[in-house]
Amino acid sequence: MNIAILAGGISPERDVSLSSASLIAAALMRNGNKVYLADVYEGIPESVTIDGSIFRSDYNYSYKVEETVPDLDAVIAKNGGRKELIGPGILELCRAADVVYIGLHGAMGENGQLQATLDNFNIKYTGSGYVGSLLAMDKDLAKILMGRAGVPVPTGEVCDPRDPKAKDIALSVGLPCVIKPCSCGSSVGISMIDAEDQLDCALAEAAKWEDKVLIEKRIVGRELTVAILDGQVLPPIEIIPKSGYYDYKNKYQSGLTEEICPANIPAETVKRLEKYTRLAFDALHLRSLARMDYILTKDGEAYCLEANTLPGMTPTSLLPQAAAAVGITYDELCQKIVNLALK
């Protein structure tokens, strides 16, 4: 089939998206499909004719994730300062395809805006719909809904990081705490706070990315993630950074984090994580696939930190590892995600 893969965009996770999408494109071509990978922001070159011939089965896409977050201002400047999030020819490309694989991370690719746009044109696409995408992307809304469904979540408060009272709000939450933008992924803008004198810098860092931040009581314990695919909860993975915490660099640079799949945890804990993952998935109105991140404390309680509707598919990403643990190869995983979109 002809598959349009959308990646890039104007998001701090732009590079991660392009890396994921390159691997997805290769897998789908190996499966016998024809693809066209497009940067959703930069669009299609004017010289390219948008019809069935645009899709190919023999192109080599590749992209490397750098250690730091991409310079989005430079990307915008390169495109003449264009403010539109969807570039020239993108909708035409999507309409020419049998299905769209959303390989984006963050911003409009994950907050429901792109999904709503594709719905308006009756275009089939992978992942959750616009409602689930919106609810999961906003960490505050997601926590409220997951908590109501019976999923344990950290306590916290939302504020504008530029508010003069933001520091007092953080102190009322209590130290140690975590400060994070409400709608960023890949640990962008996150700070782990142990002392009061770290708050000003942390709030300033979060303010670079968003004017709504979540200040949470820091839960100490083992970091776990659990994916769900087509109704099947996959084995939990334990994430162990070799230094620091699971930040942007440790996530996407090979060899900096140890991942153990399946995680070495009691069977009862596995069952509880499966229960929480299903509850969160339903509470957020998700579909097809998602991944939930947890902290497991010493006393055995698991707190859900957030839900990811478009899990990464880079060489170091977690969903492919969890799928492999139940016998699903990378190529099979990519095809399965496409097939779910066509249901």
Q: Which helix (H) or strand (E) holds 170?
A: helix 166-173
Residues 15 and 63: their CA atoms lie apart, in Å, by 8
Active-site residue among 133, 291, 294, 330?
Answer: 291
Q: Is 119 a catalytic residue?
A: no
Active-site residue among 293, 301, 331, 332?
Answer: 293
Q: Is 252 a catalytic residue?
A: yes
Tell me if residue 325 falls in helix, strand or coil: helix
- Is 205:191 a contact under the CB 8 Å cutoff? yes
Please name the amino acid found at residue 197: D
Residues 5 and 97: their CA atoms lie apart, in Å, by 9
Which residue shows structure tokens 């099947």?
A: 232
Residues 6+ apart with CB under 8 A from 140: 158, 182, 212, 214
Active-site residue among 61, 248, 252, 294?
Answer: 252
Residues 314 and 151: their CA atoms lie apart, in Å, by 29
Active-site residue among 61, 138, 306, 317?
Answer: 306
Active-site residue among 13, 39, 138, 205?
Answer: 13
Q: Is 312 a catalytic residue?
A: yes
DSSP assignment of 109-162, as one string? Answer: HHSSHHHHHHHHTT--BSS--HHHHHHHHSHHHHHHHHHHTT-----EEEE-TT
Q: Is 41 a catalytic residue?
A: no
DSSP assignment of 192-210, as one string? Answer: EE-SGGGHHHHHHHHHTT-
Active-site residue among 186, 191, 288, 317?
Answer: 186
Active-site residue among 19, 128, 191, 308?
Answer: 308
Cα atoms in the Cβ-side hemisphere of radius 13 Å centred on 327: 1
Q: Is 46 a catalytic residue?
A: no
Angle in degrees, CA 51, 54, 55, rounded to 5? 115
Tell me if residue 222 falls in helix, strand or coil: strand
Q: Is 330 a catalytic residue?
A: no
Q: Is 31 a catalytic residue?
A: no
Q: Is 186 a catalytic residue?
A: yes
What residues are labeled active site? Answer: 13, 186, 252, 291, 293, 306, 308, 312
